[in-house]
Amino acid sequence: DKCTWQLGLIGCGSIAQPVISALNNGHIADWQVCAILARRPRRLGEIEVVNEIDAFIATDPDLIIDAAGPNALLSYGNIALSHCDVWSIGAAALADEDLEARLRDVAFAHGHQLRILPGAMGGLDITAIMALDRDATFDLSIFRPARHGETIGQSYVGTAREACLTHPDETNIAGALALAVGDWSRVCVTLHVEATDSQRRIVLQANAKTGSYDAVYIPTLSGGEHPVSQSILAALSAAHVPITVG
């Protein structure tokens, strides 16, 4: 049934699981998971979980979503993008200029597109507009609770590219913002480590001649709902609608 689009999913962790559940329960029309690429092969109900990229591609997905992050895009981006369009939550991987160039070449060669999903980063449309002002500034602060034995305070200040290269698991949102702005060096990132009982939060401050944009996002990771999972589901919901916004 070509009214049902086949989705190949890379990753089977806390971000991928809510997506799998929503699709299995029919919450998103027109999509079904045809295969999952993960470290451990097994079956999840009717879905085959494989650990080899060739077996994954052999299921012939119409779309591949990287729900595993930067390392997955680095490892599998080329072959996935040669088969079909790819959506990824791993924006930080593109801080590697060689990888970005390779993926661009593959996309052009095969007529496919790599889409970086916003994940927990809102406001990418307005920042892209503000970036037309070459004097605009973009400051992103990421606050998270300390891990065991960590020192509380600023742990990093620098450009988005440097942040993604040195702290890839914490800065996918910085990568998405930098790609929206169109220049990795124009986004300043500060990472803050706070008390263990503090809440993770993301603060964006953007200023341009047309105005200023301030946003604070406090993600809630309880109850089985992950903000990045919801970003994926929102994108799938809008994939085939006849009227879109943005």
Q: Which pTM value belongs to this model?
A: 0.92
Q: Tell whether the model's pLDDT for residue 91 goes beyond 60.
A: yes
The arithmetic mean of pLDDT across residues 37-42, rounded, is 95
Determine the average pLDDT of the residues in 75-84. 97
pLDDT per residue as tens digits for the range 114-166? 999 988 788 899 999 999 999 999 999 999 999 888 899 988 999 999 999 99
C-alpha torsion angle, residues 79, 100, 116, 128 (rounded to 10): -160
Q: Tell me, what's the pLDDT at 37?
A: 98
The arithmetic mean of pLDDT across residues 220-243, rounded, is 86
The token duo for 71 is 């390392």
Rounded to an integer, what distance in angstroms lies between the CA atom of residue 242 and that of residue 30?
14
42-48: average pLDDT: 92
Say yes or no to pLDDT of 245 above 70. Answer: yes
CB 64 within 8 A of CB 86: yes
pLDDT of amino acid 122: 80
Predicted local confidence at residue 1, as pLDDT: 46
Residues 57/62/67/71 CA torsion (nearest 10 deg): 40
Percent of the chain exceeding pLDDT 70 equals: 98
Q: What is the pLDDT of residue 2?
A: 54
| Mean pLDDT of all residues belonging to the chain | 93
What is the layout of strands, in order, in the sheet containing 201-208?
Answer: 153-159, 187-194, 137-145, 201-208, 211-217
Mean pLDDT of 220-244: 86
11 token code pair: 């990753």
pLDDT of residue 222: 65
Q: Any idea which of 29-33, 45-49, 118-122 has the lowest mean pLDDT?
A: 118-122
- Give per-residue pLDDT as tens, 178-187: 999 999 999 9
pLDDT, average across residues 32-40: 96
Question: Tens digits of per-residue pLDDT, 208-230?
Answer: 999 999 999 998 766 667 889 99
pLDDT at 204: 96
